[in-house]
Amino acid sequence: MTSGWGFPDFDDHEGVHLFSDPASGLQAVIAVHSTHLGPAAGGVRFWHYADSDRAITDALRLSRGMSFKNAMAGLPMGGGKGVVLADKAGDAITPARLEAFGRAVESLGGKYVTAEDVGMSEASMKVIATQTRHVSGLPVAAGSAGGDPGPYTAHGVYLGVKAAAQRGLGVDSMHGVHVAIQGVGSVGSGLARLLARDGARLTLADVNADRAAALAAELGGETVSADAILGVAADVVSPNALGAILTEESIAALRTKVIAGGANNQLATREDGARLAERGILYAPDYVINAGGIINVGLEYLGQGDENEVMARIERIPARLAEVWDEADRSGAPSSDVADQIARRLIGRV
C-alpha cells in the first residue's frame, strides 16, 4: 500500500477530487481508487467531520474498500466514494447541495457512479439524478434491481453472520446464539429482525439510545450503551455503525469468538486484523460480508438482472467468506490480509 500527499490511506488512488460550490455551500470529496474492472462505484455519505483532512481520509478508506468489495462480489466495477461535508452534526442536506454534488459527479464523465450511503436517501438520489445519469439506488418497480441498498446489505450480513457462527461456534442454527449488534440503522435493524426470527438472543446498542430501546422492545432483546457494546460477553459481536472501531484497546476488551457485521472499515489499522487472529477471534472481512447493497445498486446501474439475480449473487457471500477463511487457515495469515490479497489480485495490484 502506497501512501501519498500526506495521507497514509492514499494507496495509489487514481484520483481524489475536491469540490466546492459557494452558492449552495457544497464541500465534497470524490475519491476514485480503481477503475480496473469498470467505473468506480460507491455511495456518497453526508457527515460532519472535525476537519477536512478527516473527511478526505474517510473518503480514501471507503473508496479503497469499495474497490475490494466490488471485486470480491464479482462485479465489473471499480471502487470510489463520495463524501459531502455537513456544517454541523444533525444537519439535513439541502436540495441545492444535492444538485451541486450531482454536477460534480457529472464532471467526472462516468468515471464515478454514486449511490446512497449514510445521511442520504432514495429521495436524495432522485435529486442528484437531475444533474447526472451516473447514479444508482433510485426508486424502482417491484421485482427490479435497485432502490434502497440497506435491506440487501442486511440480508447479506445476515447470511454472513450465520456462516461465521457455524465456522466459529460450530452451530447449525442461530437459535439461542447471543449476538451483540452495534448500530441499529437500516442494516443493523434489518439484521436484528432476521436474527430474531431465527430465535437468536440479541443485545443492541446505538448512538440513538431511544432507537435501540424501541427495537429491543419489539424483538425481545436487551440494550446497552453505545460505548459498552463491544465489551459485551456474546457469541457474536456485529459492528453495523461507523468504522475504525476495532482498535488495539477495543480488541483487548472483546469477549466474543466471532466478529461479523456490516460496518465499513471496521479495523482501525491493518495490524488489528492480526490482533484478532492472535486472540483466536474469527473475523468476517467487512467488504466481503456487506456486499449485498452494492450488488443490488451495481446490477441496477449495469442493467444486468432482476431481483432474483440480485438475491442469487447475495447468496454467494457465505462461499466467498469460506474461501477467505480456508486460505487463512492454510497460510496462517489473518483473514483480513487474505481478503486484501485476493482483492488486490482481482484489481491488478498484486
Structural domain spans, the chain: 15-128, 150-290+318-346
Active site residue 162: no
CATH topology match: 15-128 vs 150-290+318-346: yes
Query: Which stretches in the chain have pLDDT values below 70?
Result: 1-4, 139-147
The pLDDT score that the predictor gives to residue 97 is 98
Q: What's the pLDDT score for residue 201?
A: 98
Residue 150, C-beta contacts closer than 8 angstroms, at least 6 positions apart = 116, 185, 186, 187, 190, 293
| pLDDT at residue number 144 | 47
The residue written with cell numbers 432474483 in the block is 308
Q: Give pLDDT, residue 170.
A: 98
Q: What is the C-alpha separation between 228 and 86, in angstroms, rounded?
A: 27
Q: Can you read off the three cell numbers belonging to residue 324?
A: 477467505
pTM above 0.85, yes or no: yes
Q: Active-site residue among 69, 81, 162, 257?
A: 81
Backbone phi, psi, residue 177, to 5°: -75, 130
Domain 150-290+318-346: give its CATH code.
3.40.50.720
- Tell me which DSSP letter residue 230 carries: G
Residue 34, H or E segment = strand 26-34
Alpha-carbon span 81 to 333, nearest angstrom: 28
In whole angstroms, what is the distance from residue 343 CA to residue 133 CA?
Answer: 28
The confidence score (pLDDT) of residue 142 equals: 46
CATH topology of domain 15-128: Rossmann fold (3.40.50)
Kindly tell me the sign of the dihedral angle through the C-alpha atoms of 108, 110, 111, 114.
Answer: positive
